């Protein structure tokens, strides 16, 4: 395994972590959007806020981690991607601003109307960001990013069948993951009506996501045949199968109300498909224009990346463990409060 | 002048002199450390509970 | 300076930009930085401030200190969240606006952002634990979780400034045939140019955050709110800022001398000095000429020769007017802040009380926004002063810019988004501070 492979492994780790943790955040926004009227939706929205608050800042750092490794270890690929796919990436960035701000502000809303406006901004951007990021990945995977400064098309590089499906699957996966997590959180908080509500949502989202993923594969066959062929053979096929089984397993576990375990299988499902995709692309980083070997930085840089990340993990893993332990032990929760209650006089 | 204040002002004066009169790495490092000590020590001396707890001034 | 190594400028890795709109891209970058950097100042300084106040609580068990520390930490968390968001935008902008810069040099300086990401991740984790752990962790444990927040504030600025220092005095690579070869990332990261920038920026953090916070309590003071809580808020914030201000002047002197040595054209632009002059004067405010002053500032020698803009052709010179005005603004405000700090310090030293003159408190209220202006002016001075280079004497900014179309639309959208963000943060903070802090503490 070369240093370049290790760095790719970091990118894989980052994308997976962001897809699992960050998309659960985005998915929470999806449920916020569809929670219903103020009174009914208030309880759902309250749980959304409660389950996200202590850890959401930490989640988005994975995105930055991916960007940094990419621009350090594969700088030509980074520059090509960001110049060709400037539109979805710019929109994703704007969405991230809106989302973060709206969420932080929502806790301070004093009237229902304010909360709904902020909530709408938060929820809408929570849906758009994963779509654009998914579309970006779709653009890269389907070979629409050539090497060079904005050498690809401004629109069709991300508005094409593969990209759109990838974006959709990203949104749905987030919704699915979020529902699973919040069902578990509701259980921990002993709020049975919310457990039921999120369980129903998780089941529904799981089915829709599975269907969308299958459709996505079919679309891929027509749009990016070589990627489809790689994805449906050998190791990659096994990853696709693992992902499918993980999804089905998650649905089954949610059905039988075993939410803790469901989180694990959900994470496995996401991780497997990310791994499958990256391996299917090999040896390319920008199929079919740029191989990993061509794109990689010098040995000194790759070594520096590995050392830097290793040092970082030494500090971060215990810190993150500490944080998650405190969160899961319930030692950092703030008081649960349905989002409409605070408006009562 | 209390001892704390004496140390405080010494840090400031020596720190400034080392930074302005010389151009070596060692004088820069020591000088800056002294100036940072001035800031930290000064905050502790000024913002002490007695001064903060006063009713009127 | 490695002038001999870079006898040849680098050729952009992704090919020359098709329709470079360098000025627009620079402005977009500048606006994003102008929004992000003040938040960074709070990330640098505020944790030290609220940790100090928590220390007061632990020493005296006086609940007022706990209320203040709690309030400050909550504000800090909100600002940090905004900082995450604006920082993410910056990361995206590096790629969106400067893909050639990233493609050509990413492997040289990129590692610094990896380390910065780590420190910022640590800060995120521990500030969350700190704010959500009030009353839930033991007193000692809680205090200790604040320490990584302070340290990572420093580490983050270390890594980012390392890159900026590198851009102004590039090292850690060679240029052969217009291509970057033999990158040495660690040498690039810990470069000799970064230290004055780091100290100067770190102190700026305390000036901006300290004076802005002090200004809030100074206003309360003028409105008669001088209870224990408000007095503490005022004195703690003011102490940090007032003592940092004179030290900042010394750091600035160091910075000036380093620039004189390594970027003589930038220094010439500070003053608009056309001809190379022995015993060069410095014109304060562009009006009053102080003889020999520029030579003294640059070399601590009244008869030193200061190089003028003439040493390079016009296409290699920065926009002089912008740099001059920014530089003058920064040192004028910086001097004023040091004077304000000295005023506060001397009154305390000689009379052991707070100043009585209402104009002192009005000055403190003005000092916050002015410190911000000085901060931006300083960054404009150094960044615009480095033009036309993005990597000094190696890559021009116009080589680095994206060929993607639609920059103008992006610019407008970004402006609107930031305006909205600013309004929202202001609204939030007003909301938050309307509730009395003592309500948060049982």
Nearest to C318 by CA among C252, C265, C390, C275: C265
> pLDDT tens digit string along C276-303?
999 999 988 878 899 999 999 899 999 9
Is the complex ipTM higher than 0.85? Answer: yes
pLDDT of amino acid A184: 86
pLDDT of amino acid A53: 58
Q: Do C122 and A316 touch (CB under 8 A)?
A: yes
Task: Look at residue C12 and give its three-state secondary structure.
Answer: coil
CA distance A283 to A286: 9
pLDDT of amino acid A344: 33
pLDDT of amino acid C37: 95
pLDDT of C135 > 60? The answer is yes
CATH of the domain at A67: 1.20.1630
pLDDT of amino acid C142: 95
Q: Do A58 and C128 touch (CB under 8 A)?
A: yes
Residues from chain C contacting residue A305 (CB–CB below 8 Å):
110-111, 114
Domain limits for position A121: 3-295
Q: Would strands C179-181 and C277-278 be described as parallel, antiparallel, or unpaired?
A: unpaired
Task: Look at residue A36 and give its three-state secondary structure.
Answer: coil
Q: What angle do CA C57, C60, C61 make, to 5 degrees?
A: 60
Contacts of A111 (CB under 8 A, 6+ apart): A343
CA distance A215 to A231: 14
Alpha carbons within 13 angstroms on the beta-carbon side of residue A289 total 17
Q: Along the 57 residues of chain B, how does pLDDT read in single tens digits?
A: 789 999 999 999 999 999 999 989 999 999 999 999 999 999 999 999 999 998 766
Q: Which residues 1-57 of B are in CB contact (within 8 Å) with C?
A: 5, 12, 15-16, 19-20, 23, 28, 31-32, 35-36, 38-39, 42-43, 46-47, 49, 51-54, 56-57
Q: A280 near A246, Cβ under 8 Å?
A: no
Q: Do B52 and C235 touch (CB under 8 A)?
A: yes
Tokens of C356: 């009585």
Task: Measure the CA dihedral C240/C372/C413/C416, to 10°.
Answer: 90
Helix (H) or strand (E) holding A165: helix A161-188
Nearest to C194 by CA among C145, C220, C160: C160
CA distance A43 to A47: 6
Instruction: Assign C8 a pLDDT band (cuts: 50, 70, 90).
Output: low
Residue A40's DSSP bridge partners are none
pLDDT of amino acid C439: 59
Whether residue A144 is contained in a domain is answered as yes
- The C-alpha of C245 sits at a distance from chain A's nearest C-alpha, in angstroms, of 32
Nearest to C337 by CA among C245, C253, C249: C245
Mean pLDDT, range C119-142, rounded to an integer: 90
pLDDT of amino acid C251: 97
CA distance C64 to C232: 9
Whether residue A333 is contained in a domain is answered as no
pLDDT of amino acid C395: 92
Q: What is the DSSP string of A91-158?
A: HHHHHHHHHHHHHHHHTT--SHHHHHHHHHHHHHHHHHHHHHHHHHHHHHHTT---SSSS-S-TTTTT
pLDDT of amino acid B57: 67
Q: Which ranges of chain A have pLDDT less than 70? A: 37-40, 51-58, 104, 106-109, 333-345
Instruction: Name the one residue in this structure whose structure tokens are 């909550």.
Output: C74
Whether residue A315 is contained in a domain is answered as no
- Smallest CA–CA distance from C253 into chain B, residue: B20
Domain count, chain A: 1
> In a 10 Å sphere around its CB, with 0-12 CB exposed, 13-18 middle and 19+ buried, how is residue C370 labelled?
buried
Q: Do A322 and C129 touch (CB under 8 A)?
A: yes
Mutate: best of C95, C97, C159, partner A, most A CBs <10 A: C95
Tokens of A262: 């469901």
CA distance C134 to A8: 40
> pLDDT tens digit string along C30-60?
999 999 999 999 999 999 999 999 999 999 9
CA distance A157 to A86: 10
Tokens of C154: 């420093």
Query: Torsions phi, psi of C14, nearest 5?
Result: -95, 10
DSSP-H helix ranges across C263-319 = 264-271, 293-299
- The C-alpha of A95 sits at a distance from chain C's nearest C-alpha, in angstroms, of 10
Task: Report the percent of chain C where pLDDT is more than 90.
Answer: 73
Whether residue A265 is contained in a domain is answered as yes
pLDDT of amino acid A38: 65
Break chain B down into helix, strand, coil percent, rounded to 5.
Answer: 80, 0, 20
Whether residue A341 is contained in a domain is answered as no
Whether residue A206 is contained in a domain is answered as yes
- The C-alpha of C232 sits at a distance from chain B's nearest C-alpha, in angstroms, of 6
Whether residue A316 is contained in a domain is answered as no
């Amino acid at each position: 395994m070369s240093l370049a492979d290790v760095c790719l492994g970091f990118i894989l780790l980052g994308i997976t972590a962001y897809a699992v943790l960050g998309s659960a955040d985005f998915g929470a926004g999806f449920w916020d959007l569809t929670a219903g009227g103020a009174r009914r939706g208030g309880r759902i929205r309250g749980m959304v806020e409660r389950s996200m608050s202590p850890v959401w800042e930490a989640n988005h750092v994975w995105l930055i981690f991916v960007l940094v490794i990419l621009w350090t270890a594969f700088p030509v690929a980074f520059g090509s991607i960001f110049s060709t796919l400037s539109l979805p990436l710019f929109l994703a960035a704007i969405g991230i601003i809106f989302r973060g701000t709206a969420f932080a502000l929502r806790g301070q809303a004093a009237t229902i109307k304010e909360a709904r406006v902020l909530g709408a901004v938060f929820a809408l951007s929570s849906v758009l960001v994963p779509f654009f990021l998914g579309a970006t990945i779709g653009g890269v995977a389907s070979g629409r990013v050539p090497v060079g400064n904005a050498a690809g098309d401004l629109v069709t590089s991300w508005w094409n069948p593969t990209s759109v499906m990838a974006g959709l699957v990203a949104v749905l996966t987030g919704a699915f993951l979020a529902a699973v997590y919040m069902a578990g959180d509701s259980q921990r908080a002993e709020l049975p009506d919310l457990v039921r509500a999120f369980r129903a949502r998780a089941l529904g989202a799981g089915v829709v996501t599975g269907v969308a993923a299958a459709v996505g594969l079919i679309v891929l066959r027509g749009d990016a045949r070589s990627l489809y062929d790689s994805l449906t053979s050998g190791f990659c096929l096994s990853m696709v199968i693992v992902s499918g089984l993980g999804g089905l397993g998650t649905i089954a576990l949610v059905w039988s109300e075993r939410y803790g375990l469901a989180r694990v299988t959900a994470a496995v499902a996401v991780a497997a498909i990310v791994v499958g995709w990256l391996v299917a692309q090999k040896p390319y980083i920008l199929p079919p224009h740029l191989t990993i070997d061509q794109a990689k930085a010098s040995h000194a840089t790759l070594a520096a990346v590995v050392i830097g990340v290793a040092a970082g993990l030494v500090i971060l893993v215990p810190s993150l463990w500490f944080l998650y332990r405190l969160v899961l032990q319930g030692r950092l929760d703030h008081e649960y409060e349905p989002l409409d209650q605070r408006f009562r006089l | 002048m209390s001892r704390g204040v004496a140390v405080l002002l010494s840090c400031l004066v020596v720190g400034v002199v080392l930074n302005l009169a010389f151009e070596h790495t060692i004088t820069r490092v020591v000088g800056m450390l002294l100036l940072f000590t001035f800031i930290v020590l000064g905050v502790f001396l000024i913002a002490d509970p007695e001064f903060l707890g006063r009713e009127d001034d | 300076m490695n002038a001999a190594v870079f006898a040849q400028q680098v050729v952009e890795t992704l090919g020359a930009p098709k329709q470079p709109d360098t000025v627009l891209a620079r402005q977009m970058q500048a606006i994003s930085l102008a929004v992000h950097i003040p938040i960074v100042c709070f990330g640098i300084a505020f944790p030290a401030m609220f940790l100090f106040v928590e220390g007061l609580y632990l020493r005296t068990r006086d609940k007022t200190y706990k209320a203040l520390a709690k309030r400050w930490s909550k504000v800090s968390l909100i600002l940090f969240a905004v900082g995450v968001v604006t920082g993410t935008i910056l990361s995206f902008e590096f790629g969106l606006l400067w893909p050639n810069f990233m493609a050509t040099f990413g492997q040289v300086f990129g590692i610094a952002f990896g380390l910065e990401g780590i420190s910022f991740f640590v800060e995120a984790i521990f500030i969350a634990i700190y704010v959500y752990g009030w009353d839930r962790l033991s007193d000692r444990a809680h205090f200790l979780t604040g320490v990584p927040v302070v340290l990572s504030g420093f580490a983050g600025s270390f890594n980012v400034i390392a890159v900026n220092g590198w851009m102004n005095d590039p090292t850690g690579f060679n240029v052969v045939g217009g291509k970057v070869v033999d990158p040495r990332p660690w040498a690039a990261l810990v470069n000799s140019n970064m230290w004055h920038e780091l100290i100067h920026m770190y102190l700026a953090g305390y000036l901006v955050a300290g004076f802005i916070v002090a200004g809030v309590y100074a206003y309360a003071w003028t409105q008669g709110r001088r209870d224990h809580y408000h007095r503490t808020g005022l004195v703690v914030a003011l102490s940090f800022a007032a003592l940092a201000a004179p030290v900042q002047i010394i750091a600035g002197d160091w910075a000036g001398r380093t620039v004189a040595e390594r970027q003589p054209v930038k220094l010439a632009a500070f003053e608009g000095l056309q001809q190379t002059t022995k015993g060069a004067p410095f014109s304060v405010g562009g009006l009053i000429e102080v003889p020999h002053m520029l030579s003294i500032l640059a070399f601590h020698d009244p008869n030193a020769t200061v190089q003028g803009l003439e040493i390079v052709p016009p296409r290699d010179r920065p926009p002089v007017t912008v740099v001059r005005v920014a530089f003058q603004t920064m040192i004028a405000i910086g001097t004023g802040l040091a004077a304000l700090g000295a005023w506060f310090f001397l009154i305390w030293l000689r009379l052991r009380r707070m100043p009585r003159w209402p104009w002192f408190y009005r000055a403190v209220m003005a000092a916050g926004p002015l410190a911000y202006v000085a901060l931006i002016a300083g960054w404009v001075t150094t960044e615009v002063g480095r033009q036309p280079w993005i990597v000094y004497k190696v890559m021009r900014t116009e080589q680095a810019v994206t060929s993607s179309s639609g920059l103008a639309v992006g610019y407008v959208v970004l402006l609107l988004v930031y305006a909205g963000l600013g309004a929202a943060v202001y609204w939030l903070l007003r909301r938050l501070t309307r509730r009395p802090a003592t309500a948060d503490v049982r």
